Structure formats: C-alpha cells, structure tokens
Chains A and B, each alone.
Chain A
Amino acid sequence: MLAQQLVNGVLLGATYALFALGFTLMFGVLRVINLTYGFYFSAGAFLALFLTRNLGFGVWAALPLAAIGAGVLAVVIDAALLTRLRRTKAPELSSLMVTLGGVLALYAGMTAWLGPDIRRLPPGLISADAIEFAGVRVTAAQGLILGATALLVAGLVALMRFTRLGLALRAMAEKPDAAGLMGIDTGRAAALVSFISGCLAGAGGVLIGLNFNAIHPFMGEAMMLRGFVVIILGGLGDIRGALVAGLALGVIETLTAGFVASNLKEAVAFALLVAVLWTRPQGLFGRAAIRRA
C-alpha cells in the first residue's frame, strides 16, 4: 500500500516537475512570472484531444504535435503581451499583471468557445495494461509519463549545459543587456524560451490528461497552484530545485490523499508554500541553479 502510494506520488510528481520546469525556465531567463503559462497546459491537452478524436492520431504522434502547438501558442502570446514591456524595461509586476489579464481572457474565451464540460480522450488510446512488480502496479499511462518526463528533462539539461544556445540563454539569465551587447539576439532567444516552456507545459497537459482522463479549460489553472508551490519550494529560476520539489510535492500530495483526506491536498500544498516562504524563501537549494549550471 505504502509502496504503491510512493510510486504513484513519484509519477504524479514527475508531471509537476515537468510543468514547473518550463515555468521556472521562463522566469530564470526572461525574468517574468508569466501567468499565461497554465493556459498552455490546457491548450496542450485540448490539442491532443482534437488530434486523437477528430483526426484519429495515435498517442505517439499526438503528444509531440500537441506540445509543439502549445509552444507556438506560447511564442505568439508572449510576443503580443510582453514585447512592449520588455522594450521599455517595465517593472516586473507590470508584466505579471499583463499576463494575469491575458490568461483570464484566454481561459474565459476558451470556455465560451468550447464549454466548461469535462471531456475525455478516446477510449483505448493507450493500453489499459499495467505492469505489476512486487505488488506495485504501474499503468501504461504512468510509464509514458515517466519516459516522456525523463526524456524532456534530459534534453533540457543537455541543451542548457552543453550547447552554445544554452550558454546564450544562461548569459541572458545573468545579464540581459550584456548578453545583447555580446551579440546574442535576445528577441529570438526570448521567443525560443517561450517555445520550449510552452512545449513542456503542453506535454504536461497531455500526460495529465492521459493519466486522469479529464480535460477541461481551467485544468491549467489548478495546475498553476502546483507550479507556484514547486518553483517557490525549489527556488525561482532553479531547474534542479524544480525537479526535486516537483517530485516531493507529488509524493506529499499522494500521501495526504491516501492517509489524511484527498480533498485537503491543495490546502497542504499551499501550507507548504507559506511555510517555505517563512523559513527558506530562497528555495531548498538557495540560489538559482540555472545560473550556476
């Protein structure tokens, strides 16, 4: 029972980590708390729904396509909302407010267009089989979550650490003006970061949609609460912190649901956020690892 809970918790935490990674990357490089981020999660799930239900795609094609679609959306929305504020070097709360207004308009528009109902992916999209090992069950959807998360996280870390592009992004995180003077096209780099982050959020939306099989416009909003907890717990802009904090939050939520009460898991997550702000506001690992990476 406990072993099963822990495995479920780690798998749930993997999606939290995946989701929070894009959020923390956006903050780390672009210095913006971008609240439209949760919308790309919903958008990814709905794109996957459209691709599988209406176009008959399989999950292997739908997952990357939906992620890329969400990434493109992120680039467009970022350009529309934030280009002007970046140019005038507006205070960070201005950009936060713009994305807040933007995301309300986006969610409300999506709800007006598609309706607030919970939708389901076509049955049989992913096999219902489960592997059983020492009394612990892992479903195919959970296996996919783990595989996809590991792949995307490894790809992101490799990109940030071992490529010139990653170096450029790290330079931008450190000093945007100096990076621009050194010949880095900061506008293009910002678009690229939005794209990567949007892809991560979109992939997270598809995976959570697969795991719980419930897709609705505001699902990204519920996820954002987890995003906030994870990036505060892990430290703003800290990639390694987001990974560890995401996994930890998944385990804590699953254990709360299993042993205390399932409807208290949001409250527990939030209490954790406030407790971290009181005791360790710099995050579990202190300074942002994205700068040290």
Chain B
Amino acid sequence: MPAWLDDFLWTYQNLINTLGVNGLLALSMYVVLAVGQLSLGQAAFMGLGAYSSALMTMKLHLPFFVVLPASCVVPVLFALAIGVPTLRLSGVYLAIATIGLGEVLRTVYLNVDLVGGALGLNGIPERAEAWMIYGLLVVAIAALWLIGRSHVGRAMEAMRQDPVAASVMGVDVQRYQLGALLASAVLAGIAGCLSAHQSSFIGPNEYGFEPAVTILSFALLGGIGTPVASVVGAFILTLLPELLRGFSDLRLVFNGLIIVAAVLFLPRGLVALRMRRRAA
C-alpha cells in the first residue's frame, strides 16, 4: 500500500467507518420504506444493538464473531413487540409507536447502572475493522438488490403503491411488512454493534429523536428506488457536515429541510433509478 494511502486511511479512519455504518442504517430505513411503511425506530434499534453487543463483549467476554450476529437479537425482539400489533393497523401506528421508542430507551439507559447510566459505556474493545463494515455493507446491498429483482421485490413495490390492490392479487402484505421491519432491525442492530466496537464509547444520547430523523433523511435524499440510492444519500449527508464545519449548529435544520423538500418536490430521491426486472 502506498504511504499516502496509508496516511489517508489512518487520518480519516473514523470518518470512513462512520460512512459505512451510516450506509447500513440507510439500508435499514430503505427496507421499511420499500414496503410502504414508516418506522422511526432505526436509531433505537441501533442503540439496542450497540448496548447489547457492548455488554456481551465486556461482561460476557464473548468473541466478536459471536457478538456481531448476536447483536441483532434484542432489536429483533423489540421490532416484534411493536411490529406485530401495529402492522395489522394503518401505517401511522407503526410510525407513532416507533418514534417514541428511542426517547424512552434513552431514559432507560440513563437510569440503569448496568449500562453505565449518563456516562455510557467506555473502553469497548475496538474490534470492528473497516473491511468488516464495508464487507457487510456490500453483502447487504447485494442481498437487497437480488431480493428487489425477484418476485418478492415486485410484491414489495406493489404494496408500496397500493397495499389493498396488492393483497387482492394474493400478496401477503402483513407478512412482507413484518419481514421488512425485522430485516431493518437486524441491519440497524448490526450497524450499532459495529459502531460501538469501532468508537470504543457509547452514550445514552446517541440514539434518540435526532439520529432517528437523520437516518430517514439519508434514505429520502437518496431515494428508495434501489438500495444503492439510499446508501448514496447516507454518504452525502455524512460527508456534507464534514465539509461545512462552520455550520454545525444548522446541520439538523438542514437534515430536516431535506426531508421536507424530498417529500414535496423529489419523491423519488436524487438517484431516481428503478429496479430492472424481466417482464413477468
């Protein structure tokens, strides 16, 4: 490896890892939006993955190759508890039930000594490498791409356009929606585990309302036509504040306005590609 590249990677290691993690989070948002639902629990699921995996590493001393897949267990359980009752109902229920989750978990983290209270957890071993993050990101994109091209993807797109029509055509809408929510919890949990094991510190305030909305802005900026588009959105919105350091106060204002603008004027996102499929 040439020296300048080595230098570059070392200097920007943190940013490079964050980019990959945010890409995974954008995918976890994409999966839910792709079936026409809105979950605002991505940050909360990420936090659950981060905290549960950090505890597994620090208290149970489990090796990382066990911790990483196990980090999605707790988020999936929460997704089941919230998703099963709400997905029987209209879409607003899932959104309402998940939007509060992050803030509630914040107050729980703050008050439970096992997870360090307000101080958070410090000294988590740095076991997540960039190649793992990007490897998983590529695997996730490829998997979602293949699913999107298959008949499942066609069913997903149909229920996004019109869930009633899709169910009349024999698509089991609720099962797909629950599956999407669980997949989203898995991706967010793993992203949480990776980010906890690369920054060595996690705190209760990192998984509340603001990150939840920021993750939504990733997917809406990129667009939800293809999985790659939402990852592009995440990369843009992660790099932009780095370039505009002087305006850090206004970063969240900007993220919020992106959501407004994307829904009102750019419903298909910046990368308005459509999945290609063979005719049925």
Which A positions have Cβ atoms within 8 angstroms of B? 33, 35, 81, 84-85, 91-94, 96-98, 100-109, 111-112, 221-222, 224-225, 228-229, 232, 236, 261, 263-264, 266-267, 269-270, 273-274, 277-278, 281
Q: Which residues 8-34 of B sit at the A interface, judged by CB distance below 8 A? A: none
Report if B177 contacts A (CB, 8 A). Answer: no
Q: Which residues 72-128 of B sit at the A interface, judged by CB distance below 8 A? A: 81-82, 84-86, 88-93, 95-97, 99-101, 103-104, 107-108, 110-111
Task: Give me 5 A-to-B residue pairs in the complex whose CB atoms sit less than 8 angstroms apart, sorted by A's number.
Answer: A92-B92, A93-B36, A93-B91, A94-B267, A100-B213
User: Within the assembled complex, what's the spacing in Å between the Cα atoms of A94 and B37?
Assistant: 10
Report if B258 contacts A (CB, 8 A). Answer: yes
Residue numbers in B under 8 Å from A267 (CB-CB): 104, 107-108
Asked if A96 contacts B92 (CB within 8 A), the reply is: yes
Asked if B263 contacts A281 (CB within 8 A), the reply is: no
Main DSSP-derived SS at the A contact region = helix
Residue numbers in B under 8 Å from A35 (CB-CB): 99
Question: Do A96 and B258 contact each other (CB < 8 Å), given the known contacts A101-B263, A112-B253, A225-B103?
Answer: no
Asked if A106 contacts B256 (CB within 8 A), the reply is: yes
B237 nearest CB across to chain A (Å): 13
Report if B3 contacts A (CB, 8 A). Answer: no
Q: Mark B256-270, 1 if CB is under 8 A from A, else 0.
A: 111110111001000
Chain B residue nearest to A270 in the complex (CB): B104
User: Within the assembled complex, what's the spacing in Å between the Cα atoms of A106 and B92?
Assistant: 22
Question: Do A98 and B264 contact each other (CB < 8 Å), given the known contacts A261-B111, A263-B107, A264-B111?
Answer: yes
Chain A residue nearest to B108 in the complex (CB): A267
Closest 3 CB pairs of A and B: A101-B259, A105-B256, A104-B256
Asked if A263 contacts B101 (CB within 8 A), the reply is: no
User: Within the assembled complex, what's the spacing in Å between the Cα atoms of A84 and B264?
Assistant: 8
Interface centre among B96, B110, B216, B249 (most CB of A within 10 A): B96
Chain A residue nearest to B107 in the complex (CB): A266
Q: A35-B99, A105-B254 are in contact. List 4 more A-B contacts (CB 8 A).
A: A104-B252, A263-B111, A270-B104, A274-B85
